[in-house]
Structure 1
Amino acid sequence: MERWTADNIPDQAGRTFVVTGANSGLGLETTRELVRRGAKVIMAVRDPGRGRKALDELSAEQPKGALELRPLDLSDLDSVRSFAEAVIADGTPVDVLVNNAGVMMCPRTSTKQGFELQFATNHLGHFALTGLLLGTLRAARDARVVTVSSGLHRRGVIDFDDINGERKYSPSGAYAQSKLANVLFALELDRRVRAAGIPVKSILAHPGYSATNLQSSGPTGLLNLLMKISNRLVAQDVRMGALNQLYAATDPNAATGQFIGPDGRGESKGHPTLVRPSEAGQDVEVARRLWDLSERLTGVRFDLAGD
């Protein structure tokens, strides 16, 4: 793969993207580049105030950009349903869903539905959103679901006996579990849509170690301090980190089932390239078990009847 940059993004005029977590970090940079190339972007954000600030910033940069702000709290399944139902009711076409938003290494917190916050936000919310929007995506040309994971998925284990960390909780362990869940979900979605003959690509991406507010907004105490220091000294710029999901979302050569990450040492920095998920991420039986669990927990069933 050539040294791909944002200048390689094809014209996106006439295409509509939903980007979760679009008000900051990777989501904001992804939105910026998509709009620059003519796309319409629905900015799905948890905090309307921060979302409005981000939209105003982008609108000032690109006055003719097609931007729309909609509330979405991925940790709340009621909010996920309301968001998806509104998009469908409006008849809004969605060509690409970028499952980008996330929380990282926070103290144990339970969501409105009683799930552990990182598993709920990073995995269950995106699982449900994808399932609810799948019918809309199926009507699109070159439809894609881009799920953003992390290199830390390699440290993850799906603890089916304690999925919500009620007996034992580690902020970093729960984060790694949620990022492994992203990988398992995206690859299982790829297998299922291909088996059904549904023309929707499921593509994975991870940003390497990129400097965003994710590292400092979730961790507390000493971990928070260490993250802030490493962001300044080690991490790559967010513009580089966003390239991987931008490639997955827009490049004609991006194929379903691929995993896109940085080409540098340890996949921590660099330009987009094909990377391999961990062995655990490729475990088909675990993926099927997680899919079944996710359907039960969210109440969302994917319409996978063939075209």
Structure 2
Amino acid sequence: MSILSSLEGVSSTVFSNIFIHLPTPEGNLTGQTIIVSGSNQGLGLEACRHLLRLGVKKLIMAVRDINKGETARKELLQCACREEFSIEVWKLDMDQYTSVKDFASRAESLPRLDAVLANAGLMTNTFNVSEENEKTITVNVVSTFLLIALLIPKLRESALKFNILPRVTIPNSALHYIAPLNELQPKKGGIFDSLNNKETANMTARYPLSKLLVLFGVRALAARLAQNEGPLVVINTPNPGFCKSQLARETDNIGFRVGEKLLARSTEEGSRALVHGILADEKSSGQYLTNCQVHSPSCMVTDMKGVMVQNAFFGELVAKLEHIVPGVTAGL
């Protein structure tokens, strides 16, 4: 993390939240099937409202708690005046690889799949382990890319059958500008081993670091998908800005509450950035988006050192995904 990078992240967030009003998403999603994870509340729920307004035929709400998902589904059906069959609630726990695999297996039965908004995420200051990784890394990074890798064959199948451009969107954050790099130095034992070391883990900065890793993963995966002979799958990572949501519920201090009151976008406005990612064309693939436009990420991503870290990280990520599901990255 450099001082200049931190200043850029803070200043761009303050400027955006005060002076820029995100446009209401416009487009035609008639007949399409879209999956939204983490969709029973916050940005995911508001994104679902926009997707339904734009004509999505089948909305798959991927949630950890089915009861909460059903409650959200009933609200959406009523507000959008849609038929019962237009929204389904499916179980997806990003903290468990088995749940991710089961969800993807179920998605194979869908007649078509046009887009995935991989919105489910975790922000915590507490070090816990799940699936042999620190929990933030499991949920925000490994399981997210596992889900995408498992769904790409279905997205490509739909592209061929329905002549569509399938899209994948993973929310990001300007906090990636302040992510520390000391845990990402390629060395003996590897990046994941460093991240999973409880004694050296910087949990205060773990969420920003997870978003930096998402950026590395999106850029590397987009480059790999572009070289594949199959149909193109667009993957991008938009920043909704500082928003009111349930993500930072563990952060409860006066400074945060005052900042949220003065600067935070509404949850609905923040969701517009995520829907824009779903609507974006092939020029957005591999890109970081801010204020519904392609934007340069932190120099920690684009400079020579960043490229080296990205290559090392993505290599480890692919190996980890192959360990979880042998062959899952072969077609990427």
**TM-score interval for Structure 1 and Structure 2 normalised by the shorter chain:** 0.7 to 0.9
The answer to whether 1:146 aligns with 2:164 is no
The answer to whether 1:57 aligns with 2:75 is yes
Instruction: Give the letter for the 1:240 counterpart.
Output: E
Quote the residue 2:225 is aligned against. Answer: 193
The answer to whether 1:135 aligns with 2:167 is no
- SS in structure 2 opposite 1:242? helix
Identity %: 26
Residue 281 of structure 1 and its aligned partner are, at CA, apart by 2.4
Quote the residue 1:48 is aligned against. Answer: 66
Alignment gaps of 5+ in structure 2: 1-19, 185-190
Residues 228/133 of structure 1: CA separation in 2 closer, same or farther (3 Å cut): same
Quote the residue 2:112 is aligned against. Answer: 93
How many Å separate the matches in 2 of 1:56 and 1:241? 22
Residue 214 of structure 1 and its aligned partner are, at CA, apart by 0.7
The answer to whether 1:277 aligns with 2:297 is yes
Contact 1:102 1:121 in 2 (8 A): yes
Q: 1:209 aligns with which of 242, 245, 248?
A: 242
Alignment gaps of 5+ in structure 1: 263-271
Residue 176 of structure 1 and its aligned partner are, at CA, apart by 1.4
Alignment of 1:26-45 (within 5 A): 26-39=43-56, 40-45=58-63
Deviating beyond 6 angstroms after TM superposition, the runs of 4 or more aligned structure 1 residues are none
Quote the residue 1:259 is aligned against. Answer: 288
Quote the residue 1:302 is aligned against. Answer: 329
Contact 2:36 2:59 in 1 (8 A): yes
The answer to whether 1:171 aligns with 2:203 is yes
How many Å separate the matches in 2 of 1:225 and 1:78? 39
Contact 1:193 1:200 in 2 (8 A): yes
Quote the residue 2:89 is aligned against. Answer: 69
Residues 3/274 of structure 1: CA separation in 2 closer, same or farther (3 Å cut): farther
- SS in structure 1 opposite 2:129? coil
Contact 2:33 2:114 in 1 (8 A): yes
**When the two structures are superposed, what TM-score results if normalisation uses the length of structure 1?**
0.87
Quote the residue 1:289 is aligned against. Answer: 312
Contact 2:42 2:245 in 1 (8 A): yes
The number of residues matched between the two structures is: 288
The answer to whether 1:22 aligns with 2:39 is yes
Larger radius of gyration between Structure 1 and Structure 2: 2
